[in-house]
C-alpha cells in the first residue's frame, strides 16, 4: 500500500484496512472479469459464477475476522477467499481444474476453500454449509479458541430447510456466528418476491431469538463500521446475529445466463452503487488516496492476475491414475 | 404426418406441452421453470402458453416442492415437478422414500406425481451437478423409475409417467439433452412403463444398460463388430419395474452378460441386474457377469479425471472382448 | 345432545357446537385412556401416543372447518380425526392392526387419516406433512373448492427444515392455512428451551410474512372464538396464519415413557387447566348443561368405546397373502 | 479379567462410555441422548458422567445435527451423533452423500464422524420406524458402513468407527438390542472395519448376511443340519468396504451362495453381494445365487404382515434346501 507516496494524503486508523479491502475487491473483480472473458472464449471447463457487484460484503467481513475465525462462503464470495489469503493463482487453478489447485481438480469453479485460512469449501446444496460452520465454530471453541463464524447466504437459500435448522441450532447452542444474507434480488431467474413474503428477510431474525439488522451491502465504509460493532456484540454475548445486506447480482446467475429477465433500471440503480466505485470515491474525496495510488493498486492486481492465469495454465491437470486416490482418509 | 427432428430436451418440452394441453389436471413447477424456462430450457415457453397458474417458479425448497406435489397428486392433480439437478433431491429424500413411496400402500390414495430430474455428467459439472442416483430411487418400494435414452422415449415415457397413478421418478440425461436427435411425430405415442427395447441384435454377448450409456454401449458394440463379434444392446428404459422377461430372453440368446451404467459401482443398479441374472438365468451363463460402471468416488471436476471416471467406449469394448473370449 | 331435557338449561348459538366439541374431547380422552390401559396390559402391538390434555385444539379446529377443508394432524390429534368423523371403531382397528381399519393394518397407531373426511394420514417424519397439506389445499382450490387447511405442529417439529419450507411456501403462494403449533413444552424428553430461543414461537410468523397469534390451547370457549375470527380473515385474505397454542403433554412421549423428566409442578399447573374440565365447568356454571347431561354424554362415549374395542378385537388381521397388494396403484 | 454379560445395547453404551473417557475429542449428541439417555437408552448415564458439554440434546434438526458433526469433525473433534431412527436420516441425506462423503476427496480434510442409527423391524414399528436403509449408505463413495450382529462387535466396531478418520455410518439393530447377550470384557478390543467373521462352518452352502439376519440364518443352518447339511454363515459386520476375500473364500469352500438381509430386495445390498460373486467367483458356482430379503413393500405394521415381511428361519431353511439340492 503506497498511500504515503504523495504529500496530500491524509490518514486515519481505518485507511489501511480500507485499502486492504479495496485491494481484495480489485482482485476479486478483475479476476472474475477475466474468468468471464475466458468463459466466453470457451476456455473454461464448466461454468463461471461471479460476485461482481457484491464484493464489499465478503471483502469487509474477511478482513475483519481474526485468524481463528471460520468462514462459510457461498457462490459469489470470491472476496472472502481472497481476503482470507487465498491466492488468485489458486482461483485460476481451481477453475482450470489444475492438480495444483485447492481441490486438486476434483472440484471446480466456486467450490473451494482453504482450512488453514479458516475457510470451508462449499458443497452446492444451498444452506448445507451453514450447519457445518456451526459445528466448526462449536468445535474450535471447545478446543479453546475464541473462534466466531461468518456465514454467507443468498436470498434464495433462505428458503431452504437447512437455513432454518442451522440458524436455530446456532441460537440454541449460543454459537457466535454472523449470518449474512446477501440479498441480491435474484435466485437464478427467480426474483425475491417469489422467494419470501416478509417485507425484509431481517424479519426472520426474531424467530430465532437473534438480533437482526439490515445494511447496505455495497458501502464498504458504513459496512465496516456496522460489522465491527456487531462483532463486538457477538463476541461479548456469544450469540449469533442475522445481518441482511442489500446488494445486486450484476451479471447472470452464471455466465451461461444473460439475465435478460432482470430489469435494466435495477441494474442501473446498482451500477451507481458499485462498491468499488463507492469506496474509491470515498478515498479520493477525503484525500485518503489519490488517483495515482488507486491506478497503481489496480495495476498491481492486474499484473498478479495475468501472471497467475499464465502460471495456472502451465500447470498440470490431475493424473487420471490418481482418480481413486483419497476417496478415503488413511489413519 | 410429417416427422420433425427433435433433440432429447426438445422432446421433453414437446411432451410437457402436450400434457399441459390435453390434461387440465397437469401442473408444472419447480425452480426457474416459469418465464426462464428451466435451467436446461425444458419448460421454455410453457408458462407463456399455459399461464402462471399452471407453470410456475418456486422458492428453493425441495422438500416443499416434493411434499406439495404429493398433496396435489392426492387431490387428483397430476403435478410434474422439476428438481434442478437430481443431486439436490437428497435434501428432501424422505418425501420420496417415506411419503410418496408409502402413501398408496398405507391409504389407498394414489399419488400420480412425476419428478423430473436431470442426471449425469460429462460436461464438467463436478461432484454436485453430475450425479447418477437411480439406484437410490429403484430401491424404494412404491416408486417407479424411468430413464430414457432417446427423444421418442423421453416424450413417450413422460406421457406414461404423468398418466400413471403412481409416483414416477423421471430421470433425464444432461449429456444427451442436445446431443441426441431423432425424427419424431408432432405428438407421438406413450411408451409403456416397464418395457425394455433391444437397440442392437447380436448373439455373442448382451449389454444391459440405460441412459447415456446406451449410446456408449452401441458405439462399443459397433467397434467390436469390426472384429467379428455381434453384441446385443438392451436399453432398459424403465428401471423400476424393470423388464425381467426382456432381460432373461437376452441372456438366453447370448449367454454372456455385461451391465453398463454411469452410476457408482458398489450397491448400484447394475448390481441388481447382475443379481437378477445370477439368480434366474444362472444355467444360461457361460461367463462371469461383468459390470462396467463409474468407480466409487465423487464425480470429479477436471476433464482429465472425468474422462476416466465415466465408462467409455474403449473401456466397454475392451471388456466386451474379454467377456466374449472368456 | 340432550341438553334440552332439563328445564333450567339455557342455550345460545354456541352451545351446540360446544357440546359437539365436548363429545369429541370425551371420545378422544376416553379412547386414549383405554389405549393406555391396553398398552400396559400388553395388548397393543407397537406404541401408544396420546393427546391427553391437548384435546381442545384438535376438537375445536376439526369442528370449525367446512367439509371441503383439509387437515394434517400430528401425533396427538386424535380429536381432529374424531371431530372430522372418524369412528372410534377405526381408531381401535388402527391400533390393533386390523384389516378393517383405515390403513388396513399396513400402518399403526397414530398414522391414519381419511381423505373423505379431509384428513391426511401422517408420516412420522416431523414436518413432512405440512407441505403435503399446502399442496393439497392448492389443488382443491384449483379444482374450484374454497378449501383451506389446518396444520398441527409440535414445538419440536418447529425446528425441522420442513416446517420452514412449508410455511414459506404457503406464504409465497397465498395458501390459506391455519398453522397451529401445539406448544406442549416437550419434544419427547427435550424441553422447549432446547428447541428454540425466541421468546415465543409466534415470533416466527413475521419471518414468513404471516400474521401470528398466541392463544391458550386448553380453553375451548376462547379458542373457538379466536379461531373463528382468524378463519374469517384467512378465508377473506387467502393468507396463512400462525397460531401458537399453549398446552401441555400430560403423559410420556409414548406410553413406554414415564416422563419422569417433567417437573411435577408443571403437570399440576396444567391439570388445573384440563380442557375437558374447563369446558365442563363453563357449561355447568353458565347453565348450558347440567351434570346429568354431561354424565350421560360421557357414558354414551364410553359405551361407544367399549363396543368399538370389542368389535375391533373381533375383526380380522390382514391376510399375509395380501402383503404385496397395493404397493402400486393400478390404472 | 472377568467377563460380564452384556446385551447389544449395553455394549454400545459401554463403548460410548470408554470412548468418552479415553478420548477428549469425542462428543455425543442427538435428540434426547442427554439426561433421558436416548430413545433406546444407548446413552443412559453418559451426560451425568461426562457433562452437558460432551453429551447433549439437540433440536429436531437432522440436517443441522449431521452438518454440525461434519464441521466438528473437520476441526478435529470426533463427534458421535445419534439419529433416533435410521428412517429419519432421509430428511438430511445430502449431508451424508454430498457433504460428508465428498469432503475428504475434495479438500483433504478428514471427517472422522460417526452416525449411529437404529435400524430394522420386528417389533410393530410400522413403515417409518423399521426401515433397513444400508444400501443407501453403501452406494455412497467416501462413507464406511458397519452393521454389527453381536455385543462384542457392536462395541469393537464402535471403537473403530469413532477412531476412523472417515465418516462411518454405524447401523444398529433394534431387534437385537435386548435379545442378544454375550459375556465380554469390561473394555475389550477394537474390531477392525472391513473384516467379516465366519459364524458357522459348513461346506454345503454359504449364507452371506449381517445384522439381525445373522441370527435367523444361524437358526436356519442349525435346522437343516438335522437333515445332514452343513451351511457356513458369514457375518459381514462391515458392509463398506466389505470383506471380498472372506466372501470369495467362502464361495470357494461351498459353491452355493445365499444372501440374506432384512432390507428391500430390488437394488438392495444383497444385489451387490450377488453381483460380486457372479463377477469374481462365477467359475466356483454350482447353483444360482439366491437372495432372501424383505419384499419390495413398505414395512407393514400389523404383526401378521410383518411376520411374512421379514425373512424368517423357515423361509431361509426352505430356500437353503432348494439351493443345496439344485
Ligand atoms: C438445494 C439446492 N437446490 C437448488 C440448487 C440450484 N441453485 C444453485 S444456485 C441457485 C440460486 C441461488 O440463489 P441465492 O441463494 O439467492 O444466491 P445467489 O445466486 O443470488 O447468490 C439455485 C437454485 C442448489 N444449489 N441447491
Ligand atoms: C424428522 C424426525 N426426527 C425425529 C423424529 C422422532 N420423534 C418423533 S416424535 C418426536 C418429538 C416430537 O416433539 P413435538 O414436535 O414437540 O411434538 P409432541 O410429541 O410434543 O406432540 C421425535 C423427536 C421424527 N418423528 N421425525
Ligand atoms: Mg440471490
Ligand atoms: Mg411438543
C166 touches ligand 2 (CB under 6 Å): no
Cα dihedral C194, D88, B30, B101, rounded to 10, equals -150
The pLDDT value given to residue A1: 41
D31 touches ligand 2 (CB under 6 Å): yes
**By percentage, how much of chain B surpasses pLDDT 90?**
99
In a domain, B8, yes or no: yes
Minimal-distance CA residue of chain D relative to A101: D107
pLDDT band for position C2 (50/70/90)? very low
**By percentage, how much of chain C surpasses pLDDT 70?**
98
Domain boundary among B184, B209, B235: B184
Of D91, D97, D298, the CB nearest to B94: D91
8 Å CB contact between B207 and B110 = no
Domain boundary among D138, D154, D184: D184
**By percentage, how much of chain D surpasses pLDDT 70?**
100
In a domain, B192, yes or no: no
Please return the burial class of C260, using the count of CB atoms within 10 Å of its CB with bins 0-12, 13-18 and 19+. exposed
Q: Do D264 and B139 touch (CB under 8 A)?
A: yes
In a domain, B287, yes or no: yes
Using one digit for the tens of pLDDT, what is the confidence trace for A143-158? 999 999 999 999 999 9
- DSSP H helical segments within chain B, as ranges? 8-22, 46-50, 62-74, 93-94, 101-107, 134-138, 151-163, 212-225, 244-254, 269-280, 303-309, 313-324
Residues B124 and B91 in one domain: yes
- Helices A220-237 and A15-40: crossing angle in degrees, nearest 10, is 110
In a domain, B300, yes or no: yes
Ligand 1 atom having least distance to the Cα of A75: 21
Instruction: Tell me: pLDDT of B71 over 50.
Output: yes
In a domain, D88, yes or no: yes
In a domain, D23, yes or no: yes
The pLDDT value given to residue A8: 67
User: Hey, what's the cell of B39?
Assistant: 435451467
Q: In the sheet where D290-294 sits, what is the strand order?
A: D197-200, D231-235, D205-209, D257-264, D290-294
Q: Do D71 and A132 touch (CB under 8 A)?
A: yes
Instruction: Tell me: pLDDT of B323 over 50.
Output: yes
Query: How far is Cα A276 from Cα B49, in angstroms, rounded to an integer?
Result: 42
Cα–Cα distances (Å) from A113 to A20, A101, A107, A177, in that order, read 20, 10, 11, 18
Find the angle CA(A42)-CA(A44)-CA(A48) to the nearest 5 degrees: 110
Q: Ligand 1 pocket: which of A217, A253, A257 to mutate (most atoms <8 Å of CB)? A: A253
Question: C128 to chain B: which residues are within 8 Å by CB?
Answer: 63, 67, 94-95, 98-99
Instruction: Tell me: pLDDT of A2 over 50.
Output: no
Which residues make Cβ contacts (< 8 Å) with residue B56, sequence separation at least 6?
Answer: B27, B28, B29, B33, B34, B47
Q: Do D71 and A138 touch (CB under 8 A)?
A: yes
Q: How many domains does chain D have?
A: 2
List the beta strands (DSSP E) in D86-132: 114-119
8 Å CB contact between D38 and D46 = no
Instruction: Tell me: pLDDT of A4 over 50.
Output: no
Kindly report the three-state secondary structure assignment for every residue of chain C: CCCCCCCCCCCCCCHHHHHHHHHHHHHHHHHHHHHHHHHHCCCCCCCCCCCCCCHHHHHHHHHHCCCCCEEECCCCCHHHHHHCCCCHHHHHHHHCCCCCCCCCCCCCCCCCCCHHHCECCCCCCCCHHHHHHHHHHHHHHHCCCCCCEEEEEECCHHHCHHHHHHHHHHHHCCCCEEEEEEECCEECCEEHHHCCCCCCHHHHCHHHCCEEEEEECCCHHHHHHHHHHHHHHHHHHCCCEEEEEECCCCCCCCCCCCCCCCCHHHHHHHHHCCHHHHHHHHHHHCCCCCHHHHHHHHHHHHHHHHHHHHHHHHCCCCCHHHCCCCCCCCC
Find the angle CA(A203)-CA(A209)-CA(A211) to the nearest 5 degrees: 60
Closest by CA to B8, choosing from B216, B172, B200, is B172
Closest by CA to D110, choosing from A107, A130, A326, A119, is A326
Q: Strand pairing partners for A241? A: A178, A211
Question: C328 to chain B: which residues are within 8 Å by CB?
Answer: 104, 142, 144, 165-166
Interval C212-226 mean pLDDT: 97
In a domain, D191, yes or no: no
Other chains touching C, judged by 3 or more CB pairs under 8 Å: A, B, D
Residues B11 and B102 in one domain: yes
The DSSP code for D97 is: I
B270: domain range? 197-324
Q: Give the distance from CA D15 to its chain's centroid.
A: 15
Which residues make Cβ contacts (< 8 Å) with residue C62, sequence separation at least 6?
Answer: C24, C71, C79, C80, C81, C82, C83, C84, C150
Using one digit for the tens of pLDDT, what is the confidence trace for D129-159? 999 999 999 999 999 999 999 999 999 999 9
Question: How many CB atoms sit inside 10 A of residue A266's CB?
Answer: 15
The pLDDT value given to residue D1: 78
Residues B104 and B147 in one domain: yes
Q: Do D271 and B266 touch (CB under 8 A)?
A: no
When scoring B210, B275, B282 by the number of chain D Cβ atoms within 10 A, the one with the most, hence best to mutate, is B275
Cα–Cα distances (Å) from A52 to A55, A270, D68, in that order, read 6, 11, 30
A125 touches ligand 1 (CB under 6 Å): yes
The pLDDT value given to residue A13: 74
C189 touches chain D (CB under 8 A): yes
Task: Supply the ipTM of this predicted assembly.
Answer: 0.98
Residues D31 and D164 in one domain: yes
D84 touches ligand 2 (CB under 6 Å): yes
Place of cell 410420556: C252
Lowest mean pLDDT among A217-231, B35-49, C7-21, C164-178: C7-21
Q: How many CB pairs under 8 A join C and D?
A: 125
Residues B222 and B270 in one domain: yes
Interval C113-127 mean pLDDT: 98
**Can you list the domains of chain C with their CATH numbers?**
3-84+122-312 (3.40.50.970)
Which residues make Cβ contacts (< 8 Å) with residue C6, sequence separation at least 6?
Answer: C290, C292, C293
C169 touches chain B (CB under 8 A): yes
Using one digit for the tens of pLDDT, what is the confidence trace for C253-277? 999 999 999 999 999 999 999 999 9
Which residues make Cβ contacts (< 8 Å) with residue C36, sequence separation at least 6?
Answer: C48, C50, C52, C251, C255
The pLDDT value given to residue B220: 98
Place of cell 457392536: D154
Instruction: Tell me: pLDDT of A122 over 80.
Output: yes
Query: How far is Cα D222 from Cα D216, in angstroms, rounded to an integer?
Result: 10
Residues D143 and D253 in one domain: no
Q: Strand pairing partners for B205? A: B231
C259 touches chain D (CB under 8 A): no
Our CA-based measurement puts residue D325 at a distance from the nearest CA of chain A, in whole angstroms, of: 42
Using one digit for the tens of pLDDT, what is the confidence trace for B117-153? 999 999 999 999 999 999 999 999 999 999 999 999 9
Instruction: Kindly provide the b/e burial profile for residues B25-57, where b requires at least 16 CB atoms within 10 angstroms of the residue's own CB.
Output: bbbbbbbbbbbbbbbbbbbbebbeebeeebbbb
D125 touches ligand 2 (CB under 6 Å): no
Q: What is the pTM of this model?
A: 0.98
Minimal-distance CA residue of chain B relative to C104: B106
B129 is catalytic: yes
Cα dihedral B177, B180, B183, B189, rounded to 10, equals -60
Q: Do C320 and D308 touch (CB under 8 A)?
A: yes
Query: A268 alpha carbon to ligand 3 midpoint, in Å?
Result: 17
Question: Average per-residue pLDDT in chain A?
Answer: 96
The pLDDT value given to residue C4: 46
Residues B180 and B210 in one domain: no
Of B36, B129, B304, the CB nearest to A320: B304
Query: C188 alpha carbon to ligand 2 midpoint, in Å?
Result: 7
Of B62, B98, B142, the CB nearest to C327: B142
pLDDT band for position B211 (50/70/90)? very high
User: Hey, what's the cell of D67?
Assistant: 452438518
Query: How far is Cα A137 from Cα A148, in angstroms, rounded to an integer?
Result: 6
**By percentage, how much of chain C surpasses pLDDT 90?**
95
Question: How many CB atoms sit inside 10 A of residue C2's CB?
Answer: 13
8 Å CB contact between A52 and A271 = no
The three-class DSSP label of residue D159 is helix
Please return the burial class of C321, using the count of CB atoms within 10 Å of its CB with bins 0-12, 13-18 and 19+. exposed
Residues 109-128 of C with CB under 8 A from B: 111, 113, 115, 120-121, 123-125, 128
Interval C49-75 mean pLDDT: 98
8 Å CB contact between D111 and D79 = no
In a domain, D192, yes or no: no
Residues B252 and B167 in one domain: no
Cα–Cα distances (Å) from B20 to B14, B78, B176, C252, in that order, read 10, 10, 24, 50
Interval B185-210 mean pLDDT: 98
B114 touches ligand 1 (CB under 6 Å): no
Our CA-based measurement puts residue A5 at a distance from the nearest CA of chain D, in whole angstroms, of: 42
Residues B276 and B168 in one domain: no
β-bridge pairing B197-200 and B231-235 = antiparallel
Query: How far is Cα A44 from Cα A245, in angstroms, rounded to an integer?
Result: 31
Give me the residues of chain D with pLDDT under 70, please: none
Q: Do D297 and C323 touch (CB under 8 A)?
A: yes
Closest by CA to C55, choosing from C17, C36, C83, C34, is C83
B164 touches chain C (CB under 8 A): yes
Residues D156 and D305 in one domain: no
Minimal-distance CA residue of chain C relative to A206: C203
Residues D28 and D144 in one domain: yes
The pLDDT value given to residue C8: 67
Instruction: Tell me: pLDDT of A123 over 70.
Output: yes
Residues D155 and D298 in one domain: no
Domain boundary among B138, B162, B184: B184
Q: Active-site residue among B18, B129, B215, B261?
A: B129
The pLDDT value given to residue A12: 80
The DSSP code for D77 is: -
Q: How many CB pairs under 8 A join A and C?
A: 76
For residue B83, the domain's CATH number is 3.40.50.970
For residue D261, the domain's CATH number is 3.40.50.920
Looking at the CA of A126, name the nearest ligand: 1
B317 touches ligand 1 (CB under 6 Å): no
Amino acid at each position: 500500500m503506497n498511500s504515503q507516496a504523495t504529500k496530500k494524503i491524509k490518514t486515519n486508523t481505518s485507511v489501511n484496512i480500507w485499502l486492504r479491502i479495496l485491494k481484495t475487491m480489485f482482485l476479486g473483480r478483475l479476476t472474475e472479469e477475466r474468468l468471464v472473458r475466458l468463459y466466453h472464449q470457451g476456455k473454461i471447463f464448466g461454468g463461471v459464477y461471479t460476485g461482481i457487484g457484491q464484493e464489499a460484503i465478503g471483502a469487509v467481513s474477511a478482513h475483519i475476522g481474526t485468524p481463528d475465525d471460520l468462514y462459510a462462503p457461498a457462490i459469489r464470495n470470491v472476496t472472502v477467499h481472497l481476503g482470507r489469503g487465498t491466492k488468485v493463482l489458486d482461483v485460476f487453478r481451481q477453475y482450470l481444474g489444475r492438480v495444483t489447485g485447492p481441490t486438486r481438480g476434483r472440484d471446480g469453479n466456486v467450490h473451494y476453500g482453504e482450512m488453514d485460512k479458516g475457510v470451508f469449501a462449499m458443497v452446492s446444496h444451498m444452506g448445507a454449509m451453514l450447519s457445518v460452520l456451526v459445528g466448526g465454530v462449536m468445535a474450535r471453541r471447545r478446543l479453546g479458541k475464541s473462534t466466531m463464524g461468518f456465514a454467507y447466504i443468498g436470498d434464495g437459500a433462505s428458503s431452504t430447510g437447512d437455513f432454518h435448522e442451522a440458524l436455530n441450532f446456532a441460537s440454541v447452542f449460543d454459537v457466535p456466528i454472523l449470518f449474512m444474507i446477501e440479498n441480491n434480488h435474484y435466485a437464478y431467474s427467480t426474483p425475491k418476491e417469489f422467494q419470501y413474503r416478509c417485507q425484509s428477510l431481517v424479519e426472520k431474525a426474531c424467530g430465532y431469538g437473534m438480533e437482526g439488522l439490515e445494511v447496505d451491502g455495497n458501502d464498504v465504509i458504513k459496512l465496516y463500521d456496522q460489522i465491527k460493532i456487531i462483532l463486538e456484540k457477538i463476541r461479548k454475548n456469544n450469540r449469533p446475529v442475522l445481518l441482511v445486506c442489500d446488494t445486486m447480482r450484476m451479471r447472470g446467475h452464471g455466465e451461461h445466463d444473460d439475465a435478460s429477465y432482470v430489469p435494466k433500471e435495477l441494474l442501473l440503480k446498482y451500477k451507481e452503487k458499485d462498491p468499488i466505485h463507492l469506496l474509491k470515491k470515498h478515498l479520493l474525496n477525503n484525500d485518503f488516496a489519490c488517483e495515482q495510488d488507486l491506478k497503481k493498486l489496480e495495476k498491481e492486481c492486474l499484473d498478479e492476475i495475468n501472471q497467475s492465469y499464465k502460471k495456472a495454465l502451465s500447470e498440470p491437470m490431475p493424473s487420471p491414475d490418481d482418480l481413486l486416490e483419497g476417496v478415503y482418509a488413511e489413519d | 404426418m410429417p416427422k420433425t427432428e427433435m433433440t432429447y430436451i426438445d422432446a421433453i418440452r414437446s411432451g410437457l406441452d402436450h400434457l399441459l394441453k390435453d390434461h387440465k389436471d397437469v401442473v408444472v413447477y419447480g425452480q426457474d421453470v416459469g418465464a426462464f424456462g428451466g435451467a436446461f430450457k425444458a419448460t421454455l415457453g410453457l408458462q407463456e402458453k399455459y399461464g402462471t397458474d399452471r407453470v410456475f417458479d418456486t422458492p428453493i425448497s425441495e422438500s416443499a416442492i416434493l411434499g406439495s406435489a404429493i398433496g396435489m397428486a392426492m387431490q387428483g392433480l397430476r403435478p410434474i415437478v422439476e428438481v434442478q439437478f437430481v443431486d439436490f433431491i437428497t435434501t428432501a429424500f424422505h418425501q420420496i422414500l417415506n411419503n410418496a413411496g408409502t402413501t398408496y400402500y398405507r391409504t389407498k390414495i394414489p399419488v400420480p406425481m412425476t419428478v423430473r430430474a436431470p442426471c449425469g455428467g460429462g460436461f464438467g459439472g463436478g461432484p454436485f451437478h453430475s450425479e447418477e442416483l437411480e439406484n437410490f430411487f429403484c430401491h424404494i418400494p412404491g416408486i417407479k423409475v424411468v430413464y430414457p435414452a432417446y427423444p421418442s422415449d423421453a416424450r413417450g415415457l413422460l406421457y406414461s409417467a404423468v398418466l400413471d397413478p403412481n409416483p414416477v421418478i423421471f430421470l433425464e440425461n444432461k449429456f444427451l439433452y442436445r446431443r441426441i436427435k431423432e425424427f419424431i411425430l408432432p405428438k407421438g405415442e406413450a411408451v409403456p412403463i416397464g418395457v425394455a427395447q433391444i437397440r442392437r441384435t447380436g448373439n455373442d454377448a448382451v449389454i444391459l444398460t440405460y441412459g447415456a450409456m446406451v449410446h456408449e454401449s452401441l458405439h462399443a458394440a459397433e467397434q467390436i463388430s469390426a472384429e467379428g463379434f455381434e453384441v446385443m444392446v438392451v436399453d432398459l428404459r424403465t428401471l423400476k419395474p424393470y423388464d425381467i422377461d426382456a432381460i432373461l430372453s437376452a441372456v438366453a440368446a447370448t449367454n454372456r452378460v455385461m451391465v453398463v451404467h454411469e452410476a457408482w459401482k458398489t450397491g448400484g443398479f447394475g448390481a441388481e441386474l447382475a443379481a437378477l441374472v445370477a439368480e434366474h438365468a444362472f444355467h444360461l451363463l457361460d461367463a462371469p457377469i461383468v459390470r462396467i460402471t463409474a468407480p466409487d468416488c465423487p464425480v470429479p471436476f477436471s476433464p482429465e479425471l472425468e474422462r476416466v471416471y465415466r465408462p467409455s467406449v474403449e473401456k466397454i469394448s475392451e471388456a466386451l472382448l474379454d467377456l466374449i473370449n472368456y
